[in-house]
Structure 1
């Protein structure tokens, strides 16, 4: 390559010398036709890397490309960790009633409890002698069979309530064989409650019962209805009686 360059330089020197000699004695001729381009020269050696240029401006955003082809289904991933418990939901509606279950086994028998103290009041009185035509007044039975609490007064013929509560009273009366009748009333504080009536000929008896709600101090007794209904008969067989007892305390 260096010999070619030297040959070209020598040719240029001779040409310049001829032209100078010619110009001194000759007139310049007409320029000739340009020659053909020569062949491209051989590539020179690679130069050194230049200095890095400044960063250029951001380019304009390009148009969105077309959707690509859907890829193949990937492999199933591992199970993730359990999440935190959520907030409890609202109470749902009540479901239908279930079937009745089988009876359970009997429990162990408990210990015997203490009996609660109960207030007591009861009496039964009779005529052991014949009262005959009893006056229209409280009937004073002459014999006490039972007097629990001592609430029946033999002198007045009256039961006096000492324990408020509900009481049961019962009376039985026997009519003599003669004429007339027997009508016996149960009285409470002077007010008529119930009565028995016997008016047939001969010996006949009748009885009745009543339940009364009493307060402390109330009085209960029996007495004939009137002088035409007081033909009583009694004796050692105790045909006429009056009884009462506390059913339960108030």
Structure 2
């Protein structure tokens, strides 16, 4: 007995599965691949190669270690190595500016009075002298003071053994009606002159000078003869002619 309810009807239709297979069209041009100048020289994989079929190789993995993270603490300082050979001497440098003047130093201790340098003499002549040659050295025959024998009595010359400043003095007596012409000599050079014209009266004449002497310098008195007769007066009783000298200040 059939009721009035609808009866579902199942319609079994055949299931058709359509699989789309990509088949290249015969009229489609082949696939071209672009290549850069820096690409590998091997040709690109063709569609029929395993790579194009999905069989790709695994990417290469390279391990990179950051050394800055693994850097340890600073080690101890090593022993000092053997010094190398000295290099060639360089050229001298330019002279630097002058420094500031320093403060005045303290006074030194007093010197030894026994080491004080002295040099002095005083000699005279008792005989008169007439100059017969152009140049005549005045020689003395009487010693007043000559402790170190710096004055040579045979040559009539003082020799400097202590360099420094010296004072010299010469005194003479002129002769009546005769010319008196003398030079005080330093080595071979005239320093000062002592001159008196011929006169009826004889007079005393004097000349003095200070000279700076070096070691072995000579100081002496020389008569200079011109057209007139050159002479100095003296006698055996009194001394009219004297020559004196002494050290004022030694050289530093």
TM-score (norm: length of structure 1):
0.51
| Pair 169,147 (structure 1): closer, same or farther in 2 beyond 3 Å | same
Alignment of 1:25-40 (within 5 A): none
Shift of 1:241: 1.0
- Alignment gaps of 5+ in structure 1: 1-111
Alpha-carbon separation, structure 2, partners of 1:113 and 1:190 = 36
- Alignment gaps of 5+ in structure 2: 1-109
Residue 239 (structure 2) pairs with residue 238 (structure 1): yes
Q: 1:143 maps to what in 2?
A: 142
Q: Give RMSD over aligned pairs.
A: 2.0
Segments of 4+ moved more than 6 angstroms: none
Alpha-carbon separation, structure 1, partners of 2:221 and 2:191 = 10
Alpha-carbon separation, structure 2, partners of 1:249 and 1:134 = 38
Higher share of residues assigned helix: 1
Alpha-carbon separation, structure 2, partners of 1:175 and 1:189 = 25
SS in 1 for 2:130: coil
Alpha-carbon separation, structure 2, partners of 1:201 and 1:189 = 34
| Pair 176,149 (structure 1): closer, same or farther in 2 beyond 3 Å | same
Alpha-carbon separation, structure 1, partners of 2:158 and 2:188 = 13
SS in 1 for 2:230: coil
Residue 192 (structure 2) pairs with residue 191 (structure 1): no
TM-score (norm: length of structure 2):
0.51
Alpha-carbon separation, structure 2, partners of 1:119 and 1:113 = 11
| Pair 182,114 (structure 1): closer, same or farther in 2 beyond 3 Å | same
Name the larger-Rg structure.
1
Alpha-carbon separation, structure 2, partners of 1:147 and 1:134 = 29
Q: 2:250 maps to what in 1?
A: 249
Q: C-alpha offsets along residues 71-111 of structure 1, whole Å, 9 cap, x if unaligned?
A: xxxxxxxxxxxxxxxxxxxxxxxxxxxxxxxxxxxxxxxxx
Paired residue total: 138
Which of the residues 181, 191, 200 maps onto 2:179?
Answer: 181
Quick check: 2:171–2:206 contact (8 Å CA) kept in 1? yes
